[in-house]
Chains A and B, each alone.
Chain A
Amino acid sequence: MRLFEFEAKELFRELGIPTPQGTIIRCAEEVFSIPAKSFPKTLKTQVLSGGRGKAGGIKFADNQEDAYQKAQAIFKLPIKGELPKTILVEPKVTIKKEIYLAILIDRAFKGPILMGSAEGGVEIESSENIQIVPVPGANYSSFLGRELGAKLGLQGSQLIKFAALVDKLWQVWIKFDCDLAEINPLIIDGDDNFIALDGKVTLNEDATGRHPRFAGQLAAHLSDLGDREFRGKMCGLNIVELEGNIGILCNGAGLTMATMDLVLHKGGKPSNFLDVGGGANKDHVKRALDLVSSSEDVKVLLVNILGGITACDEVAAALAYYKELRPDAKMVVRLVGNNEAKAKEIMDRAGIPMTNVLEKAVEEAVSLAAKA
């Protein structure tokens, strides 16, 4: 779950990482409640996607009137399809140096790493000067922060302050079960203070369930998802949007991907990924069918269930129900495994053809979609 910049900075402040003293505004008019004397200010759009500066979502304002005009424009500016609900207003800061600092898990290392660059403020992928300090066994100790600081060429009191900040970012990363905790840029201001000028925190989505403070917040943080993806997240269905006309419903992530790949291989285009999961019951499958077919692009539904735990007859019952509601729906069904014979009875009664050969089902679906 990706947090907005202002939320990331709240977490930073809780753990002692300094940030500029910012205010959140929900409409342009609110700039008039910000003391005139406190200008100039930076206005930053609060959307989840990156590249906000380039897209025109970050502006300087000299005074209230200037801020009002610019805030109006920012509120109307969609970035990658997302409109901001809030703008973060911060004092302008004198920047002496910009550093990149992040903590994330490295898959190959099977553990967390500290990542830094003396070239902060730019897209990290395009930076050539990235330094990494692995944290073996996730046993962090302050010397690792100092090691990173030294690699970045920091010395003296800057080295010590930087390392203290790494300690605190580690606390954030651990405390909130983050995938990523990033400060880009971490700046050194005119008074030699380290300040987090931007903040990016992604909470691991499997872990948020054990953090009551984030309960019920998922919906507000999914602005970068497509329609079916958002609704899927709300009811626990793993769906990913693609551009195609063959709706996919399958059990098991690997088998679902293989089914989609097969559709492409046979000349068709999958409309989505949907893993209905293990042991799905009739209602769960009905919801999945509704979700997949809710896109107008879907002309054919391809259902592939290999029942290990999942009972094929539960799936068949859902399909029969769906067919009654939408007799014109084009469905191609492959069911095999657990309770397959019972499933066949249900499917025969409902008049829905069923095969247990995957290749046949995919070919049939592709052929039907081509005619639609």
Chain B
Amino acid sequence: MAVLINKNTNVIVQGITGSMGATHARLMKAYGTKIVAGVTPGKGGQDFEGTPVFDTVYEATKNFRVDCSVIFVPPYFALDAALEAIEAGVPLVSVITEGLPPQDAVKLHAAARANGTLVNGPNCPGIITPDECLVGIHPGSIYKRGKVGLISRSGTLTYEIGLGLKQADIGISTAIGIGGDPIIGIDQIKSLELFQNDPETEMIILVGEIGGSAEEEAAEYIKSNVKKPVVGYVAGVTAPPGKRMGHAGAIIAGNKGTAKSKREAFEAANVKVADTPYEIIDLVKQELAILA
């Protein structure tokens, strides 16, 4: 079953004619994603390697059923692009773009909430259901299909884990890159809810990092709502306070948001916490053996 996307998901690419959009539209298509259209204002009527390009999302939705839009638009234009997709009734919007000003992110998520739209990101690698659909920039060959749901704030760290799992012949149902910004749409809790309700997913990996209180809140959620086993990992033990560690959301404020606090919260929720990315694989093997 997987979550959010599958082989039937019709996807449009906003920013398809830009360099990022074009590169990843090609890669997504090669992976098997059904890209029905692209949207670039001013380039409507053009054809991108067999995919029709429209000026507006609305026009794209008049011509196709659009289940998802993936956005590769520069940071100061991404809010506008996402609002357009939300307004046009696209149910799932994945914003890959990094660097959205937080005030734009606030507006984005307020609009998403008001419309009941699921927004993934911003500043994320997107979502992948192996062998069926890739929305975003995950390198498809890194993942095998299977029973483990993967939730992560990171990009390449997620791929590192996917690679390790594949090498151990373990597959994932869906990987959700929720993004590295402080204000995101689909968060850990929403992702946990989706996986808990997915018959194909038998256990979950939750990859967090320093900054904010999302992992602590997720741990509380897990206690009352998640029955499937969860393996966790938190990056940033070596992060000094007050410094942004790449991701806008990866910053320890005062003494809040430390790796220690998140680890302790996970442990209190009976999440098995790995000390290293490859230990995640060992813990997953153990849990799968118990489930079998």
**A residues bordering B, Cβ < 8 Å?**
105, 107-108, 110-112, 125, 136-139, 174, 177, 179, 204, 206-207, 209-210, 238, 240, 242, 250-258, 260-265, 270, 273, 275, 278, 306, 308-309, 336-338, 358-359
- The residue that A108 contacts in the complex, of B217, B259, B278, with Cβ under 8 A, is B217
Structural contact, A252 and B106, CB atoms closer than 8 A:
no
Task: Assess A359 versus B276: contact at CB under 8 Å? Given A252-B154, A254-B180.
Answer: yes
In the complex, the answer to whether B182 meets A254 with C-beta atoms within 8 Å is no
B156 neighbours in A (Cβ, 8 Å): 250-252, 254-255, 306, 308
User: In the complex the two chains form, is A107's CB within 8 Å of B213's CB?
Assistant: yes
B54 nearest CB across to chain A (Å): 26
Q: Are A107 and B163 in contact (CB under 8 A)?
A: no
Mask for B222-252, Cβ within 8 A of A = 1, else 0?
Answer: 0000000000010111111001111111100
Is the pair A204, B103 in contact by a Cβ cutoff of 8 Å?
A: yes
| B209 CB–A CB distance under 8 Å | yes
Contact of B157 among A105, A110, A255, A265 (CB under 8 A): A255
**Whole-angstrom distance between the alpha carbons of A138 and B103 in the complex?**
8
In the bound complex, residues from chain B placing their C-beta under 8 Å from that of A337 are 139, 142, 159
A255 to B278, CA, bound (A): 12
Q: Which residues of A contact B233 (CB under 8 A)?
A: 258
Q: Kindly state whether residue B199 has any CB partner on chain A within 8 Å.
A: no
Would B160 and A306 count as touching, CB distance under 8 A?
yes
Residues on B with C-beta less than 8 A from A273 are 238-239, 243, 245-246
A105-B182, A112-B106, A264-B238 are contacts. A336–B163 as well, Cβ < 8 Å? Answer: yes
B114 contacts chain A at the CB level, 8 A cutoff: yes
B102 contacts A204, CB within 8 Å? Answer: yes
Residues in A whose Cβ lies below 8 Å from that of B52: none
Asked if residues A265 and B213 are in contact (CB atoms below 8 Å), the reply is no
Q: Contact: A253 with B110, CB < 8 Å?
A: no
Chain B residues in the interface with A (C-beta under 8 A): 23, 75-76, 99-103, 106-107, 109-110, 113-114, 125, 137-139, 142, 152-160, 163, 180, 182-183, 207, 209-210, 212-214, 217, 233, 235-240, 243-250, 254, 259, 275-278
Docked-complex contact B183 and A110, CB < 8 angstroms:
yes
Q: Which 8 A-B pairs have the closest CB atoms?
A: A254-B154, A253-B246, A252-B156, A254-B157, A207-B101, A137-B110, A257-B235, A255-B156
Interchain CB contact under 8 A, A257 and B250: yes
Chain A residues with CB under 8 A of B142: 308, 337
Given A238-B246, A256-B245, 4 other A-B contacts at CB below 8 A? A207-B102, A252-B154, A255-B154, A309-B137
CB-based contact A258/B248 at 8 Å: no
A207→B103 contact, CB < 8 A? yes
CB distance from B70 to the nearest CB of A (A): 15
Contact among B101, B110, B278 with A358 in the assembled complex (CB-CB below 8 Å): B278
Contact A206 B248 (CB under 8 A): yes
Alpha-carbon gap, A254 to B125, bound state (A) = 12
Interfacial chain B residues near A253, Cβ < 8 Å? 154-155, 180, 209, 245-247, 250
CA–CA, A189 and B1, complex, Å: 66
B residues within 8 A CB of A258? Answer: 157, 160, 233, 235, 276-277
- A-B contacts, 11 listed (Cβ < 8 Å): A107-B212, A108-B217, A111-B109, A206-B102, A240-B245, A252-B155, A253-B247, A257-B210, A257-B246, A273-B238, A337-B159
A226, closest chain B residue (CB): B243
Residue of chain A at shortest CB distance from B235? A257
Complex contacts, A204 vs chain B, CB 8 Å = 101-103
Closest A residue to B157 by CB, please name it.
Answer: A254
Give Cα A275–Cα B110 distance, bound, in whole angstroms.
Answer: 31
Q: A253-B154, A308-B155, A358-B277 are in contact. Are A137 and B114 (CB under 8 A)?
A: yes
- The residue on A at minimum CB distance from B103 is A177
C-alpha spacing A212/B254, complex, angstroms: 32
Complex: A177 Cα to B76 Cα, angstroms: 12
CA of A258 to CA of B158 in the docked complex: distance in angstroms? 11
Which residues of chain A are within 8 angstroms of B278 by Cβ–Cβ distance?
A: 358-359
- Bound Cα distance A275, B212 (Å): 20
Chain A residues within an 8 Å CB radius of B217: 108
Contacting pair B245 A308 (CB below 8 A):
no
- Are B102 and A105 in touch, CB under 8 angstroms? yes
- Closest CB-CB distance, B219 to chain A, in whole Å? 14
Give, as a whole number of angstroms, the nearest-CB distance from A126 to chain B: 11
Residues of chain B within 8 A of A179, CB atoms compared: 102
- Check B275–A265 contact: CB distance below 8 A: yes
Chain A residues lying within 8 Å of B110, measured Cβ to Cβ, are 111, 136-139
CA distance A204 to B100 in the complex (A): 10
Structural contact, B183 and A254, CB atoms closer than 8 A: no
Chain B residue at smallest Cβ distance from A176:
B103
Q: Are A306 and B237 in contact (CB under 8 A)?
A: no
Known contacts A254-B157, A308-B159; decide if A108 and B238 are in contact (CB<8 Å): no
Q: Are B137 and A254 in contact (CB under 8 A)?
A: no
Could you tell me the distance in whole angstroms from the C-beta of B268 to the nearest C-beta in chain A? 19
Instruction: Tell me, in angstroms, the Cα distance from A172 to B163 when the chains sit together.
Output: 47
CB atoms of A257 and B209 under 8 A apart = yes
Q: Is the CB of A111 within 8 A of B75?
A: no
B217: nearest chain-A partner, CB-CB: A108
Taking the closest CB of chain A, its distance from the CB of B198, in whole angstroms, is 24
Q: Are A254 and B155 in contact (CB under 8 A)?
A: yes
A143 to B72, CA, bound (A): 38
- From B158, B212, B237, A254 is in contact (CB under 8 Å) with B158
Closest CB-CB distance, A263 to chain B, in whole Å? 8
- Chain A's nearest CB lies how many Å from the CB of B282? 12
Pick from B113, B183, B210 the residue with the most CB of A within 10 Å.
Answer: B183
